[in-house]
Structure 1
Amino acid sequence: MSSENNGENKLQRREFLRKSVLASVALIAAGKYAGAQSLFLPARPNSKFHGVQIGVITYSYRNMPGDIKQILKYVVDSGISAIELMGDAVEDYAGKPADRKKVAEWRASVGMAKFEEVRKMFSKAGVKIYAFKPNALGKRNTDAEIDYAMKATKALGADAVTVELPSDPAQSERLGKFGEKHKLFVGYHAHTQATDTAWDIALSQSPYNTMNLDCGHYIASGNGNTAESLLALIKNKHDRITSLHVKDRKTKADGGQNMPWGEGDTPIKGILNLIRKNRYKFPATIELEYKIPDGSDAVQEVRKCLAYAEKALS
């Protein structure tokens, strides 16, 4: 080999080594930067345990300041990764007028861009919106408002609206038709009027009419309701339930009070493990209603409920 070729090979080897060292330094620096960045990013919440999705409803944070970004922070700080989102904060973010007389007109014409922004905001933080509960689904609301509620639900990425169970069957029939039109479920929420047959008319009117079963209200209602009948109702109607509300209440005979989880008569452990055992897909929604102890707040109490649920499922 000539001295000229030998010199050229040495130069090529030096250049290769130089580039390799630079590349290694760049990778190390990038890794350190990424690690440093991760220290400042909030952990994405995960409240799905053994296939059971634990969620929360906005109402749980009703005693705290409630714009949409604050609500998202409360949810993430609670460790929750799914939510039933109530309407006020979302609509305020989307520009709902302060004058109530103008709200129906606004709903009939507002675009969906702001609702899509909310979906992306929550999704980026690791929170899925599975249901939307706007105050736009009542008997006095116009058809245009109900159409708006359905469109907003889709823009938020949810597959169900929730609303109080109407006393007038004509209204549940009306809402069922809108559900069919938009291919969205309407989950009816009952309070202490809940019985095993309270939803039967609504369920018979449309396959899109479903149950948003509040387990605590059911237990506190009297009406012959028991822990055993509640579990049987969930099992028998599981294919018509879109979500549960979970709270611990005393029976009517014991006073019906809302209690910290584990101190009332709602069979929370039985409910959660029934969902787990049968692989039901509907979420169990924390609805915080017991009195918040002095020195605590809604975020801390929701975290306690979540810890109770995780332990119950472990």
Structure 2
Amino acid sequence: MTNYTYYPAINWNEIEDVIDKSTWEKLTEQFWLDTRIPLSNDLDDWRTLSDKEKQMVGYVFGGLTLLDTVQSESGMDQLRKDVRTPHEEAVLNNIQFMESVHAKSYSSIFSTLNTKAEIEEIFHWTNTNEFLQRKAEIINEIYKNGTPLQKKVASVYLETFLFYSGFYTPLYYLGNNKLPNVAEIIKLIIRDESVHGTYIGYKFQLGFNELPEEEQESLKEWMYNLLFELYENEERYTEELYDEIGWTEEVKTFLRYNANKALMNLGQDPLFPDTADDVNPIVMNGISTGTSNHDFFSQVGNGYLLGTVEAMQEEDYLIGME
């Protein structure tokens, strides 16, 4: 009698794509939880902010919570349907869990800095803001109805571009010696997203390079049209968040810079002229996600728990494609 395999076991001793293994190792080395970051130490800084700044910070993190919710609940579930290897599915499982950790981390920030009434107002704004809901809708529709490669494009745009209108705020405050523990969480999230976007972009490139030239050109046109649509909406969202604070144009520069990074992850040419030199240097300094020097007894930061795993560097956007 012949025995047939109903469900094959994953074998990490037989690796089909070494990038799966190296990404798994990088992500597990970077593992963290928000509960180990002493957010209450930022309360003195929080009290120095104006009411407009406090409202802006709340809305920023509400928006980030929504996008991480989309990515954890819809995005990774859709990407798992089209994996090339069983090890890729394991990596996506890791990514999905960390996206949930990210979403939960923002609630830890809210519970530390905001009252119950303020938190309810933040989530009402998040769930009703026209431009925030629009970008979530665009991405989620692609997750539901797009091709496997289109879904990967949407995921990379979310991870490497759309999050950054929100990331700008804590990085700016960090550069001005405010809210360092809130920024610590954001730096940990950026470190994760850097790997997520690069890995999924690499998987996109494998599939893209297998397409006939005519299909490649059609997909490239779709990609750039989608980026224009998302950027136009993101401009409106940025204006709504930052006009009263006066940061709008600086944030838009940061967005364009990161839109180019998303295209690089996908193996495509940059669209915008903006480079790192055009971004506010205070923010660029903050985006470097090296270890923080937290005191062993009073604070636990990524320096103590997680070693010195760095964010993806410029050359890492060419991962596996030499």
Q: TM-score range by the shorter chain?
A: under 0.3
User: Higher strand share goes to which structure?
Assistant: 1
Higher alpha-carbon Rg: 1
TM-score (norm 2): 0.26
